[in-house]
Copies of this chain bind each other. A is one copy, B any other.
Amino acid sequence: MSDQGEEAASAQWGPPYLLYLGSANDDLAIKTARGLAYWRPHWCLGQHRRDDCAVTLDLPDMDIVRAKAAGASTMVIGVANAGGVMNDAMIADAIAALDAGLHVVSGLHQKLRDQPEIVEAARRNGRALFDARAPRPGIPVGTGARRLGRRLLTVGTDCSVGKMYTALALEQSLRRRGLPADFRATGQTGILIAGAGIPVDAVIADFISGAAESISPARADDGWDLIEGQGSLFHPSYAGVSLGLLHGSQPDALVLCHEPTRRHMRGLRDYPIPELMACMEANLAAARLTNPAVKPVGIALNTSRLPAQEAIATCERVSALFGLPCLDPVTMGVESIADNLVACFAD
């Protein structure tokens, strides 16, 4: 977990974290901070909220000085404004954190490294800056060369259907079984949770599969890489990202993620959600290019918009259709998918 920018190459960012919520006024705006607090609670000392902040993560409220005194190493700007830009208050708070001796990392579109006052404050304090949405330099072109290790990729019928959550839940489940398992992050929230990764939607197009190869290198410990999928092969805006990620991941196993009440692709009223079986088949067909032995091991549904009974019935219906475990990772856990994964790949 280290700064990969040029401006403080020797300084290390990492937990314990102060989560900066700023002036956020709805839950969507603090999605990144919430993900970190949910998946890495032991890393999160407290939250920093301005007076007009309307949301909370139920962490201790701390200002920068108190967080530093309590042992915080890094302030995480885990809030999204409209357009992902930094306002003046946020810039001032980032500088104050650096001056107090904290590293600063951000999941915003607008980069810390593009704010000269922030870059200067990091330099004068010898602190690290890290932009989770900025790919590191030097990502290679994908080679398709077969590599050791076992990899699972979460794929989806659409964007925002639970691909990150499912991969993280599987990491947790496998680790609890004593199996080596590592979540591999491909988006800014996942990168802050993992402390590493590449935002694949932000790399240059020729390097998508190379980015996927980089984040899930060969491993020889019989463990699993749980790779966070992005987008959908059926999303006309982003399918290229999904395909390059699929090829570079060389997945041994796929989990298909889906939101059963959604009627059209995110942001595109004219594009219906693909049929589940067709979506699984298309992902398997594409994945076979780099791993002919790829297997589907489960389906993860986001049933948050369904009554509980209907959620269970939907999972049972999909499970019967595919002959695979189907569940909602949030309300039902992922144990049956993890069971099936382990069973499918028992040597």
Contact = CB atoms under 8 A, between A and B. Distances in A.
Interface of A: 141-146, 200-206, 208-210, 233-234, 236-245, 247-248, 268, 270-271, 282, 285-286, 289-290
A185 to B, nearest CB: 16
A270 B145 CA distance: 8
Nearest to A271: B144
Nearest to A231: B206
Contacts of A285: 282
14 contacts: A142-B236, A143-B236, A143-B237, A144-B268, A144-B271, A205-B244, A209-B239, A236-B247, A236-B290, A239-B243, A240-B242, A240-B244, A243-B243, A282-B285
B289 A236 contact: yes
Given A234-B289, A236-B247, A239-B289, 17 more contacts: A142-B236, A142-B238, A143-B236, A143-B237, A144-B236, A146-B270, A200-B205, A201-B206, A203-B204, A205-B208, A206-B238, A208-B240, A208-B241, A236-B289, A239-B286, A240-B243, A282-B285
Contacts of A247: 236, 239-240
A240 B241 contact: yes
A240 B205 contact: yes
B241 A205 contact: yes
Contacts of A210: 237
Contacts of A238: 142, 206, 209
A200 B240 CA distance: 11
Contacts of A204: 201-205
A143 B200 CA distance: 20
Contacts of A242: 240
Contacts of A248: 236
B270 A144 contact: yes
A238 B208 CA distance: 8
Nearest to A238: B206
Nearest to A274: B289
Contacts of A203: 204-205
A160 to B, nearest CB: 14
A270 B250 CA distance: 14
Contacts of A144: 236-237, 268, 270-271
A228 to B, nearest CB: 15
A206 B241 contact: yes
Contacts of A244: 205, 239-241
A15 B4 CA distance: 44
A200 B204 CA distance: 9
A141 B209 contact: no
